[in-house]
Amino acid sequence: MTIQVFSSIFFLLCLHTLIVKAHLHESNNNFSTPFDFLNRLSGVAKGDNVKGVRELKNYLSSLGYLNHDSYPNDKNKEHENIFDDSLEIALKKYQEFYDLNITGFLDPITITKMRQPRCGMPDFFIPNKTTPPFHTRSYYTFLRDSPKWYKKNLSYSFDWNVLEGAKQPLEHALKQWASATPFKFHYVKIFRKADIKFSFMSGDHDDGYPFVGSSTGMAHSFPPPDGRIHFDVHRKWAWVHKKNAYDMQTVGLHELGHALGLDHSTIFKAVMYPIIYPGERKGLHKDDIDGIKALYKKIF
């Protein structure tokens, strides 16, 4: 009886493994179009009440431009579709970050920018309501409260579903950060004991950052001392440079930047720029290196 139970569990585990590995080879072309709401919003500005504004508020909130507290589970959905002052301020901040004309309304260039593939991490956090709507920005940024590692030797490991092919480009990304910082990275077999933990995840995986199509980003990661790095299993990934697939090494390099404490940069050529196109390969830019050096200046 016990043997039967064990063999059933073993069979189910194997089946699960096969299903998840099969997803790793899938293309992401089957998704519905999560940015449909933008089609209705062209030219929409302050004072307008249009269906889809609510989704725009959710999108800008998920990227850190709008404070979610401003929109508690509003029972009055009509109200949520009003383009109000807060949304105009958030949109201006978005346009400022991406070096667009600061129009405060949804002009075609802003809509095009929003549709581009990006990292799922917010561009910057809004610590509290007293934050001024505009502040002088340097190019690189730090995560909220500037979390850091307080040791130079960091271990890394791969979750059970990271395919062999993905490991080399991720190790390449680690080497690039090691060459520009005092950090040394070493592999450990026991995943949960590692400082930096690479995983592929699917859908809502209970960390507050579900992968639900292209609007939620292709990857995200958690600041020190957490170190988890998640890639969306349903995206098309490339281990060597390939058109139409996300370059594992480049996205890994970007997410490692977050795991070391950097936030997004406004410099297009920096690896910490939030938008990453399929087929795009980037290395560390001077701005990325300046950022990490500034963050750890007083530590190492």
Query: Applying CB under 5 A, which residues contact Zn ion?
Result: 119, 121, 207, 209, 230
> Measured from the CB of residue 218, what is the shortest distance to Zn ion in angstroms?
10
Nearest one of 176, 141, 146 to 284, comparing CA atoms? 176
Q: Which is nearer to Zn ion, 92 or 230 (CB)?
A: 230
CB atoms closer than 10 angstroms to residue 155: 17
Q: Which is nearer to Zn ion, 148 or 197 (CB)?
A: 197
Residue 210, preceding peptide bond in cis (omega within 30° of 0): no
Q: Specify whether the CB–CB gap between 44 and 105 falls below 8 A.
A: yes
> Measured from the CB of residue 257, what is the shortest distance to Zn ion in angstroms?
7
Q: Which of 55, 80, 164, 255 does the annotation list as catalytic? A: 255
Pairing, β 228-232 against β 219-221 = antiparallel
Q: Which is nearer to Zn ion, 117 or 279 (CB)?
A: 117
> Measured from the CB of residue 8, what is the shortest distance to Zn ion in angstroms?
30
Tell me which residue has its CB nearest to Zn ion.
Answer: 119
> Measured from the CB of residue 252, what is the shortest distance to Zn ion in angstroms?
12
> Measured from the CB of residue 28, what is the shortest distance to Zn ion in angstroms?
17
Q: Which is nearer to Zn ion, 119 or 166 (CB)?
A: 119
Q: Which is nearer to Zn ion, 53 or 267 (CB)?
A: 267
Active site residue 255: yes
Q: Specify whether the CB–CB gap between 173 and 253 falls below 8 A.
A: yes
How long, in residues, is the chain? Answer: 300
What CA–CA distance (Å, rounded) separates 110 from 112?
Answer: 5
Q: Specify whether the CB–CB gap between 41 and 111 falls below 8 A.
A: yes
> Measured from the CB of residue 105, what is the shortest distance to Zn ion in angstroms?
26
What CA–CA distance (Å, rounded) separates 242 from 169?
Answer: 13
Long-range contacts at 78-84 (CB < 8 A, ≥ 24 apart): 78/49, 80/53, 80/54, 81/49, 81/50, 81/51, 81/52, 81/53, 81/54, 82/47, 82/48, 82/49, 82/53, 83/44, 83/45, 83/46, 83/47, 83/48, 83/49, 83/50, 83/53, 84/46
Q: Specify whether the CB–CB gap between 126 and 90 falls below 8 A.
A: no
Q: Which is nearer to Zn ion, 144 or 152 (CB)?
A: 144
The catalytic residues are 255
